[in-house]
Structure 1
Amino acid sequence: MNMIRTKAPSETQNSDLLHLQEACKKHDNISLTFPMEEECIFYLLYEEDSLLSAICTFFNENGDYECSAYTIPANRQRGYFTILLEELLKETGDHDLVFPAEETCEDTVLTLHAIGADLWYQEHLMELTSSAFLKTGLTKNNRFSDSLTLSMTCDDEKEPSLCTFLINGSPVGSCYLDFRGQSASYFYGFEISESLRNQGLGSACLSLLLDTLFLRPGFEKIKKLILQVSGQNGPAMALYKKAGFQITESLSYYIY
């Protein structure tokens, strides 16, 4: 066997990585892919010309190494991942390794438990369709509702739109919308002024935004709103569920 460490995979190695990734995605019914960060380090385990297993890692802003690992399904439970992990640990020292994983992939979860990795936190992908919002929606009998307005600005059609919530002309909150194609928008960066939190303003702002997107002329083509939220953020999860958002995918982060 041949173990290769590289920051610049060759064209052949990139092709092998793609084949490995797609084989695992198909077998495990997952959507995770190798990260594409510029500073990625790849550990590749070959047997002759066949890529058996690979780990891709990069040093993130939190001071951890974020890792993605794949092993050809027919070659699992043969210690190939362990060989690469031991090589990686020689380089990472005392830094934590963080492994994103989809809980539906039993092989991944079993492997992470076997090496002693602990579940750190979860991220949830949630979505709300226009039809679901019409059935549910947020209550509007809120003390902020009558005075709250929304300003949407975008300097470039290809850039996200900044949404600013105002009361009497003064900003009290904001968020971003990234319009993806003709039918969906990604919602992120939702913040409320710190002095006005826990008073129902977040609910009022979200209600106004959803009304604008799904009910007002000019946004008829928006059929779906997508967001990502940490499972540790209980208040946000509760607000989004109340508005009709449904969890469509969950990603767990294990720390080793």
Structure 2
Amino acid sequence: MHLEKLHQLDKQQKIEVKKLVSKCLTADGLSRELYLDNDMNLYENLDSFFLLYDQKQLVSVLTIFQMNEREAEISGYTLPDKRKKGYFTALLNAAEEELLDFDIYDMVFVAEPNSTSGKMAALSLGASFIKSEYLLRLKLEDYTKKYSEFLSNLNFIVKPLTSKDIMQAAYIHSEIFKTEFQESEELIQNILESDCMVCYGAKLEEELIGICNVNYGKNKASIFGYGVIPRFQGKGYGKGLINYVLRQLIKDKVSEVTLQVSSNSKNAMKIYNYLGFQIVTQYDYYGCQIELEE
């Protein structure tokens, strides 16, 4: 048994991981693939990929997705015929050591509702159910432009933010998502320094009132960190912002866009349903803390 802890995956390693995940998804009737880049982690130096080999065969993989200072999202797959042999536990132990080096103590495990093995693994580790989120998808060829009247307001402008906007963007991100300012600042800085992400900002009379982040892939994109500060909600600016972003994605030759939303966010779901987003699947989140040795 050979375990590798990696900061990022090379081309061949990504191919190996994708083949393993594909076998697991087919065997279990699931659909959730792994994100195989580290550009969205808050801490740039965090090793976020853990691979376990048995006689040169990749048998298990674990990834860390870290969006804030307090917790990390754990995802992983083990080949069906290699399960219950301690492989994932070995990867998790290595991942916990890495997280503790960065003073991260809270872990969140992600599983699809029909993933019996995923839920059982999380519960066996002492994790408890936290929330559910929907993965939504919109095929832009089906998208019809709505709410264009909000963009006709000359005082309402949407454009990509730059490094000079970091402080203002971090401030409203912190207000919208109830995060620490420093945490928001580091996240916005990582996005603006990325080659594949863009932070779009909505300004009203030079005041930044909303943001929407886009992670670009090949002909596809994902939206995250989208919101408007509370005192401007319910006035159509959020709808105007996301409509602008969707039209920009069309200009960028993107054919499909995805995003995740809490199953409890009924107002957000109304907007996404109206725009044509469809529910692809549901993700369940289970949380626990790393147990420290005495």
Pick the TM interval, shorter chain: 0.5 to 0.7
Aligned twin of 1:229: 261
C-alpha distance in structure 2 between counterparts of 1:163 and 1:106, whole Å: 39
User: Structure 1 or 2: larger helix share?
Assistant: 2
Alignment of 1:88-167 (within 5 A): 91=97, 95-134=105-144, 138=146, 144=150, 146-148=152-154, 149-153=156-160, 160-161=197-198, 163-167=200-204
Distance 2:89 2:221 in 1: 42
Change (3 A) 1:219 1:105: same
Percent of matched pairs sharing the same residue: 21
Aligned to 2:280: 248
The letter for the 2-side match of 1:80 is G
Count matched residues: 240
Question: 2:75 is matched by which residue type in structure 1?
Answer: S
Please state how far the C-alpha of 1:24 moved relative to its aligned partner: 2.0
Q: Secondary structure at the match of 1:7?
A: strand
* C-alpha deviation, 1:132, in angstroms: 3.2
TM-score by length of 2: 0.57
| 1:24 corresponds to | 24
CA contact (8 A) 2:6 2:47 kept: no
- In the TM superposition, residue 200 of structure 1 has moved relative to its aligned partner by 3.2
CA distance in 1, matches of 2:254, 2:15: 39
Larger Rg: 1
Partners of 2:243 and 2:66 lie apart in 1 by 39
Aligned with 2:227 (options 182, 191, 204): 191
Name the structure 2 match of 1:202: 238
Greater strand content: 1
Q: How many Å separate the matches in 1 of 2:245 and 2:232?
A: 18
Query: Which secondary structure state, in structure 2, belongs to the residue aligned with residue 103 of structure 1?
Result: coil
Which whole-Å CA distance do the structure 2 matches of 1:8 and 1:220 have between them?
32
Alignment pair present for 1:7 and 2:8: no
Per-residue CA deviation, residues 135-155 of structure 1 (Å, 9 max, x unaligned), is xx6456x7x565254443588
How big is the shift at 1:196?
1.6
Q: Which residue does the alignment assign to 1:70? A: 77
- Root mean square deviation of aligned Cα: 4.6
Cα deviation 1:157-186 (Å, max 9, x = unaligned): x655554444456554343445545x5444
1:43–1:84 contact (8 Å) kept in structure 2: no
Equivalent-residue separation in structure 1 for 2:49 and 2:217 (angstroms):
31
